[in-house]
Chain A
Amino acid sequence: MPLKLLTALSVRNLFRHRRRTIMLLLAITVAVAGVVVTNGLIRGMQFDMREAAVANLTGHLKVLAPGYLDDPNIEKSFELAPGWQPDLPAEEMEGWAARIRIPAVIMSERETRGVQFVGVDPAREDISFLGDVAITGEGLTDGNDRRVLIGVELARQLETDVGRRLVLITQGLDGRNREAGFRIAGLYDAEGTALEKQFVFTGVGALQNMVEAPVVTEVSIKLADELYEQEVKQQLTGFFSAQDVMDWQELEPQAAAMFVYVDSAILIWFFVIMGALIFGLVNTLITAVMERIREFGMLRAVGMKSGAVIVQVVLESTIIMLVGVFVGVLVGWVLATQWLGDGIDLSQWAQGVEMAGMRSVLTPYVLVGDIVLVTVLSLVFGVLAALYPAWRAVKIKPLEALRR
């Protein structure tokens, strides 16, 4: 029997029960649109966390002295040849920065806090969160600027302000204390107070002068695409044979684990919603088959093959699924990119959100790959759901059916 005829039969059958078909279409649309929107939100959260992890002075790759992670201090440092830069093609690398990052004690007249004292070249820091924070006062001018940039929250705790002097104490290479006064150039307002409390920035040259050593503790590299990560890592390992080269997954294992977990979470979520939908679909299809027992009996009696019966029922299910998924994806995409396009403001729960390593605005991120996955899997589900009703239709005996 030609496929064209079977398709025409299926379509006609669907149109015969308009209300039932519309209800089914609505159910599929809502489920698929829901999956698309939630996937978008979960993806948004996932990329947000990776972005934050990479921007948190980590970069995709980092060169560190062995043992720095266990005991971060100035002794775990290395020298960079003057004028050194990573030997990478421009299209693979977004930027790089060499820094000193050591623990220090910061003091104002009234308070004392422990912080990470970071020497940076401000021109290179567009690869980290420092590149896009709002600054009250002035930013650092260059790598030899010996003023400090501190977080708004830290300034509040220290009861100090722009232009005041703070004392920073840290350890030099010889193990003896180094202390010096630093004027506050400006206050930075980062996403969340955790960063603001943790990092105090100054010029890398100024910090090298303070510890009296021309060293850095880390070289951080942000790639144009994560695709290059392992390749570049190998290359750097060859170059920095005495140091450790680590990727962000090793440096931020929690964020990396969350990142992987989200991939499976998306699938689990999809199966839950689709599972609920499938039972409705099976139920409706069985009803549709049962009320057409006489028809099927007649068709079998005039010579329709059992294979053709199966194809016809499956086609019905596939057509309705196809239309439903198309509309659902469209609705979901519009909802995710237009309605929620500006993001959901989570600042009310800022502290909890911050703990999860996210920003305070959650923007959905719709991946084409996810939509293809949803579409293909939905169609597969549609076919699978039709198999049992089709088998019921095949089982109809023409003689019994016609005698009814």
Chain B
Amino acid sequence: MSPCMSPGRATFCLLICLLPAAVSADLPGTGTDGSDRAPVTAEDLVAGALDLVRGRTSYTELTMIIHRPDWERTSALVSWTRGREDALIRFTAPARDAGNATLKQGDKMWTYTPKLNRTIRLPYSLMSQSWAGSDFSYNDLSRTDDLLRHYDLTITGEREEDGHRIYTIEAIPHDEAPVVWGKEEWVLRDDYVLISQNFFDQSMELLKRLETLEIGELGGRVMPLRMRMSKLDEPENYTEVVYDSAEFDIDIEDRTFTVFSLQSGGR
């Protein structure tokens, strides 16, 4: 089947909550000197990254590159998000995909295809399917903040790099958690920029990885600008997301996140 089953919640921050960047120094655990602050816990780091985006809004323009051994496809998208619950993503290019859109309201999702003029509420059986042919599944898009709920987090490594502290966090899912991974490993910078996220199977073999290839400033925040999702056993199959522009904390009307807006093509 499709190579993108990713029931792990870990990619939540990528598209829906694509703002794992912190700039304000008053957030707990930030600061680069590292001398006068309280010891950082794994929960703080993850919660900090999550709290950072909670209740805020964003408008971003992105490029998605789906790479396969024989071909490569580049699409352009725009997305609006509000908190971690609501999101609307719309393709703007290439022409044949333009207008295709996905709406998320809480844990419900719809897709709209203008060519068919059809809106489909996604049933649970489709949630693990590939989203728009990429290495992300609908689940990857819809999952929210379960990392704190379903995993035990521990910091397993710390290092200094380019004036930042880099933390390695190991996330082991609880026994009954709806998570297929044996464990996840997060590499987070002290300003909450995600460096990489690694997914291990239950024999603790590395299976797939989301990594940040480029970090920069956009919309007034330091954030990953280019990320790549790839499977370790199929290195030629990957999906890259590049952030072209971003605005944060803007006013977005309520009607943006409705099925009507999904179909009408406006925002």
Contact = CB atoms under 8 A, between A and B. Distances in A.
A308 B7 CA distance: 91
A291 B178 CA distance: 91
Q: Give chain B's interface secondary structure class.
A: loop
A183 B125 contact: no
Of B128, B174, B207, which is in contact with the most chain A CB atoms at under 10 Å from its CB?
A: B128
Contacts of A371: none
A201 B181 CA distance: 22
B161 interface: no
Question: Interface size class for chain B?
Answer: 20 to 34
Given A109-B201, A109-B207, A165-B202, A181 B125 contact: no
Nearest to A114: B125
Interface stretch (A37-45, A100-108, A262-270): A100-108
Nearest to A164: B202
A165 to B, nearest CB: 6
A167 B179 contact: yes
Contacts of B224: none
Contacts of B179: 165, 167, 181
Nearest to B2: A112
Contacts of B181: 109
B173 interface: yes
Nearest to B181: A109
B127 interface: yes
Interface string A165-190: 11111110000110111110000000
B178 A179 contact: yes
Given A164-B202, A167-B180, A181-B179, A110 B5 contact: yes
B26 interface: no
Contacts of A170: 124
Contacts of A60: none
B121 to A, nearest CB: 10
Given A165-B180, A167-B179, A183-B175, A112 B202 contact: no
B7 A167 contact: yes
Contacts of A87: none
Given A110-B201, A112-B1, A169 B178 contact: yes
By Cβ-Cβ distance, the 7 closest A-B pairs, closest first, are A179-B178, A109-B201, A177-B124, A112-B128, A167-B178, A109-B180, A164-B202
Given A165-B173, A177-B127, 4 more contacts: A110-B207, A176-B107, A177-B124, A179-B124
